[in-house]
């Protein structure tokens, strides 16, 4: 179960924290959906770093790459979908089942595209992305029940007991695909960075989910932004924002903290040392690219705040 994090108000004794509804399966995984309307907020690096952290803690984890840019798929070892390999778009079209779009997450250790050039990341799977997801809005929009697409897929096709945690890397739109993702009741993480455009985007995300709740309430839609994650923020050695290195970032975080609805949702801040471009070029998540990087401590703090526990033993499939 998730734990309270800094800034969260005290809850009445015995009252549980909200968790994701996910599916009707008896052992449904906990689902996090990372979303942002403006690019550059660190959404994909948050997904990957948290997924790798959770897998390293012994959880069975899946990353679903809904973003047409498919950066998560690239960093996790797949510059292009292998020939004949189904993707999440094929699942959307009903051509393949969910499990057929799953590949093992991996990172590069050598040259070329052969399997020997990569090393498997224990406990971590990838639901392979594709640029074709740019057409998802059209496909789902033509279906009167499009908003229920992902809920139906998870209810009918989710491999029981395979994953403890799923991370959804959402695309940069606020359309029906996002609403379909939200329909499964994930814990939505609104991602922001060091510019005010992300504050505006966060408000737009909340407004979209509010409209979805009003429009689809009869289907059980009640998802809201539950967490806010600030990434690539200039911090000093004590973890305080360096105003000299990012006055706008300081003002943006102050705007979050001054909002009584947002402040309790603010997770520990991740500093500006994640080397995201290097992780793309090398196809190596930060933990395998730079295992002593200070930002990994911040990522661990976020995982702690989300209640992602360290299990006694690491399960490997």
pLDDT in tens, 197-236: 888 999 999 999 999 999 998 888 889 999 999 987 776 6
The residue among 51, 63, 55 whose CA lies nearest residue 88 is: 63
**Average confidence score pLDDT of the chain:** 86
Which string of DSSP letters, residue by residue, matches 121-163? EEEEEEE---GGGGGHHHHHHTSTTGGGHHHHHHHHHPPTTS-
Asked whether residue 227 is assigned to any structural domain, the reply reads yes
- Count of domains observed in the chain: 1
CA distance 192 to 231: 6
Q: How far is CA 16 from CA 1, 10, 11, 265, in A?
A: 8, 11, 8, 16
pLDDT of 1 over the 50 cut: no
Asked whether residue 70 is assigned to any structural domain, the reply reads yes
**Considering Cα of 86, then 92, then 93, then 99, what sign does the dihedral take?**
positive
Asked whether residue 11 is assigned to any structural domain, the reply reads no
pLDDT of 317 over the 60 cut: no
Asked whether residue 68 is assigned to any structural domain, the reply reads yes
CA distance 32 to 47: 9
pLDDT in tens, 290-299: 999 989 999 9
Asked whether residue 10 is assigned to any structural domain, the reply reads no
Going by pLDDT thresholds of 50, 70 and 90, the confidence category of residue 314 is: very low
Asked whether residue 228 is assigned to any structural domain, the reply reads yes
pLDDT in tens, 25-51: 447 899 999 998 777 778 999 999 999
The residue among 79, 61, 91 whose CA lies nearest residue 167 is: 61
pLDDT in tens, 74-90: 999 999 888 899 999 99
Q: Which of 69-73, 158-162, 179-183, 311-315 has the lowest average pLDDT?
A: 311-315
Going by pLDDT thresholds of 50, 70 and 90, the confidence category of residue 307 is: very high
Residue 292 belongs to domain with CATH number: 3.40.50.300
Interacting residues of 25 by C-beta distance below 8 A, sequence separation 6+? 154, 155, 158, 160
Helix (H) and strand (E) counts in the chain: 11, 7
CA distance 314 to 317: 10
- Domain interval for residue 267: 30-305
pLDDT of 5 over the 50 cut: no
pLDDT of 10 over the 60 cut: no
Share of the chain above pLDDT 70, in %: 84
Asked whether residue 312 is assigned to any structural domain, the reply reads no
Asked whether residue 13 is assigned to any structural domain, the reply reads no
């Amino acid at each position: 179960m998730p734990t309270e994090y800094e800034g969260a108000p005290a809850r009445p004794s015995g009252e549980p924290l909200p968790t994701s509804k996910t599916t009707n399966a008896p052992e449904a995984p906990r689902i996090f959906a990372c979303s942002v309307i403006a690019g550059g907020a660190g959404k994909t690096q948050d997904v990957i770093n948290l997924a790798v952290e959770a897998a390293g803690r012994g959880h069975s984890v899946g990353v679903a790459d809904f973003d047409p840019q498919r950066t998560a798929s690239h960093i996790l070892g797949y510059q292009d979908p292998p020939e004949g390999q189904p993707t999440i778009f094929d699942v959307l079209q009903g051509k393949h089942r969910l499990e057929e779009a799953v590949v093992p997450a991996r990172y590069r250790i050598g040259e070329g595209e052969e399997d020997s050039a990569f090393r498997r990341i224990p406990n971590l799977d990838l639901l392979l992305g594709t640029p074709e997801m740019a057409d998802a809005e059209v496909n789902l929009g033509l279906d009167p029940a499009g908003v229920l697409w992902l809920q139906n897929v998870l209810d009918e096709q989710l491999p029981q007991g395979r994953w403890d945690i799923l991370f959804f890397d959402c695309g940069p739109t606020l359309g029906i695909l996002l609403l379909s993702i939200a329909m499964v009741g994930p814990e939505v993480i609104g991602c922001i960075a060091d510019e005010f455009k992300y504050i505006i985007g966060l408000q737009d995300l909340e407004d979209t989910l509010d409209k979805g709740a009003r429009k689809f309430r009869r289907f059980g839609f009640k998802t809201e932004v539950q967490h806010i994650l600030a990434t690539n923020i200039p911090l000093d050695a004590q973890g305080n924002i360096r105003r000299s290195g990012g006055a706008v970032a300081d003002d943006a975080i102050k705007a979050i903290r001054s909002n009584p609805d947002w402040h309790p949702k603010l997770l520990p801040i991740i500093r500006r040392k994640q080397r995201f471009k290097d992780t793309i070029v090398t196809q190596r998540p930060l933990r395998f690219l730079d295992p002593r990087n200070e930002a990994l401590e911040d990522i661990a703090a976020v995982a702690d705040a989300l209640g992602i526990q360290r299990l006694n033993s690491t399960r490997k499939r």
